[in-house]
């Protein structure tokens, strides 16, 4: 079940009644899109921040062990992770306003929601990989995390291209 359906199921009686009023349904759908998109992106950001916390611990352990190679690679990865967190947190929302130059149609929104689901799934897997790295800090585990972050970044770029009308 996607996040939009879950939100629709939680309508109370007044909201169901208002939903039948002319003009309100479209307004409500836009608000639902905004809220569901924000919740989805917040979830993804939380998953990435968990990996960021793990990276901080790995960097501390590398510093104590004087493993400068892991320290340098981990620091570069942590910076890339910060960039990705910011890009997702402040990404374009999954809707278009009334006066927006590029209008997002329903089919595009469905594609964006599918990408959001893929990004969330990749973020959960990425978080799990981060937990594995926490158990055994090593450069090999960092390479796996880099690949996971590259996948998330690629999906985010596809999402941006859809929202900007490039795809």
Q: What does the domain layout of the chain look like in residue ranges?
A: 41-164
Per the model's pLDDT, the better-predicted residue between 75 and 34 turns out to be 75
- CA trace torsion 99, 102, 107, 108 (10° rounding): -120
pLDDT of 98 > 70? The answer is no
Residues 138 and 54: their CA atoms lie apart, in Å, by 12
Residues 27 and 13: their CA atoms lie apart, in Å, by 18
Categorize the per-residue pLDDT at 61 as very low, low, confident or very high, splitting at 50, 70 and 90: confident
Residue 110: both structure tokens together = 């469905």
**Are the beta carbons of 38 and 93 closer than 8 angstroms?**
yes
The pTM (predicted TM-score) of the whole model is 0.79
pLDDT tens readout for residues 115-147: 889 999 999 999 999 888 888 777 778 888 999
Q: What SS3 state is found at 111?
A: helix
**Are the beta carbons of 140 and 65 closer than 8 angstroms?**
no
Percentage, residues of the chain above pLDDT 90: 35
- pLDDT (mean) for 53-73: 90
The predicted pLDDT at position 124 comes to 94
- pLDDT (mean) for 78-103: 79
Range from 19-28, 65-74, 94-103 that averages highest in pLDDT: 65-74
- pLDDT (mean) for 69-91: 92
């Amino acid at each position: 079940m996607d996040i939009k359906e879950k939100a629709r199921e939680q309508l109370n009686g007044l909201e169901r009644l208002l939903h039948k009023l002319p003009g309100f349904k479209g307004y409500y759908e836009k608000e639902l899109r905004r809220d569901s998109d924000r919740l989805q992106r917040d979830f993804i950001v939380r998953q990435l921040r968990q990996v960021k916390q793990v990276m901080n611990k790995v960097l501390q352990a590398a510093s104590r062990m004087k493993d400068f190679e892991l320290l340098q690679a981990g620091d570069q990865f942590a910076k890339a992770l910060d960039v990705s967190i910011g890009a997702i947190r402040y990404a374009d929302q999954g809707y278009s306003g009334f006066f927006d130059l590029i209008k997002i149609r329903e089919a595009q929104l469905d594609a964006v929601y599918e990408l959001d689901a893929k990004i969330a799934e990749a973020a959960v897997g990425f978080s799990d990989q981060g937990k594995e790295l926490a158990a055994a800090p090593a450069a090999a585990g960092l390479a796996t995390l880099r690949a996971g972050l590259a996948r998330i970044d690629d999906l985010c770029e596809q999402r941006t291209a859809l929202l900007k009308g490039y795809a």
